[in-house]
A and B are shown apart, each in its own frame.
Chain A
């Protein structure tokens, strides 16, 4: 009787071991309970965290499917984003997915509520074999509810605007004041210069008159002498 080669036993044992290990390794997706509710003022955004868990013993690749929100006529639909949109959760650990809702500044949105389902699903590499086959993918879901509220009064832009206005007005006033003051000073200086010139001229004239008079006196004497 022919003996079974050792290699066959080894392959059988290795296959058994591999099957056992793959049986032990499992991924188990989970989520922290609670449905996210976003109360968002129009023209602003809000973020919340959704925590997903892999309680299994092997890493779990996942992807996020963003919610399709219900349509409300005469409104602008909010925008939902998530970060990360995909990744791998290590074994025995959890991951936070940051979900952000941006509410457009449309006053018609105020008081309306949208809802949609945010899905986090396993990235499966399973394939169906033959015939009509469906691949079954596990996931967790969050029903996201979004409410649009009145814009929150934010005093900061008004304060900044007020400060800018005060600075502009004060700057203008100072500019006007200094300009007027400089013009007045220049005028004063000009007047003083003119006055000084007039005075100087007047002093020159006076000197000439005195000289004339002084020179006129001997001439008159001489004329008188000649007349005699």
Chain B
């Protein structure tokens, strides 16, 4: 038994030496090699992902007037998926337009999928699906994009002047997969503006006899509908023109208050500052107004007939 063990050991040793020799000879075992190639089977799970990058991330709508509807064709934001692997819709939401303590509503901004803005949708403060699709990136086309147009910005009446900013949040979504949200800033400079709108285009003093007058009580209301700064009323006129003769512009009097007498300031051909102020409209009081009153005296000897005069009422701010 001992002898057999010895033979087995010798045989195993010879076999090992021969096997090692053959392994070295045929490159299976390279004792002098600096590296060895080992095959390992690796597993990876590629997850669904949506990326987002927007350009530009600021849009400026320039100078806008209060009480105005402004349409645009150019301003747009390109939303890109750089290297994701899912198609996604652009979702957006926004905040109010703010300038210091002043603000106006988010829904004054309108977006569209086309630059023509045929179907404009108001921005809201909740994340909304625009249904603007960013195609699925693939190995051959890893970067896909689409464009959203900001086609309309309305400035409410009485919005105080200032450089207003609005934050718009973008997110690309293919539920349940979402991109991280990113923000763009829209800006618009609301200019100081005063408007004028008169309640009448004529005053009829009726029939007035020569050397007679009518009291300064024919009022004209001057409105500022939707402006945002106070205005002074200036007034001027021209001579009364009759069928055969004229008489002076100064026969018309103007007055800040109504009177039962013919009293006031003589109308002049050059504009006069009446110091009548139309207060600045505000968002709560978008229309402000004031009144100016006119009276007339017809000079003695004025031939009978129909006389006319132009009175110019101007707002200055």
Contact = CB atoms under 8 A, between A and B. Distances in A.
Interface of A: 26, 28-35, 53, 55, 68, 92, 94, 117, 119, 121, 124, 126-143
Contacts of A30: 65, 193-196, 227
B16 interface: no
Interface residues of B, number: 50
Nearest to B191: A32
A121 B314 contact: yes
Interface of B: 65, 67-69, 161, 191-198, 200-208, 214, 220, 225-227, 229, 234, 236-237, 240, 252, 270-271, 294, 296, 298, 306-317
B49 to A, nearest CB: 46
Nearest to B197: A28
Contacts of B207: 131-132
Given A133-B308, A138-B314, A141-B316, A126 B201 contact: yes
B151 to A, nearest CB: 15
B269 to A, nearest CB: 9
B213 to A, nearest CB: 11
Contact of B312 (A26, A31, A132, A137): A137
Interface centre among A32, A53, A141 (most CB of B within 10 A): A141
A55 to B, nearest CB: 6
Given A33-B194, A136-B198, A138-B196, 18 more contacts: A28-B225, A30-B193, A31-B193, A31-B194, A31-B317, A32-B193, A35-B316, A117-B270, A121-B312, A126-B201, A126-B202, A128-B203, A132-B307, A134-B308, A135-B309, A136-B311, A138-B312, A142-B316
A140 B222 CA distance: 12
Given A133-B202, A141-B234, A32 B270 contact: no
A28 B309 CA distance: 22
B308 A128 contact: yes
Contacts of B208: 131-132
A31 to B, nearest CB: 6
Given A28-B225, A133-B204, A135-B202, A55 B195 contact: yes
A136 B69 contact: no
Contacts of B234: 117, 141
12 contacts: A33-B161, A35-B316, A53-B65, A55-B225, A126-B202, A133-B205, A134-B309, A135-B308, A136-B220, A137-B312, A139-B312, A141-B234
Contacts of B317: 31, 33-34
A134 B314 contact: no
Contacts of B252: 134
Contact of A141 (B192, B202, B227, B314): B314
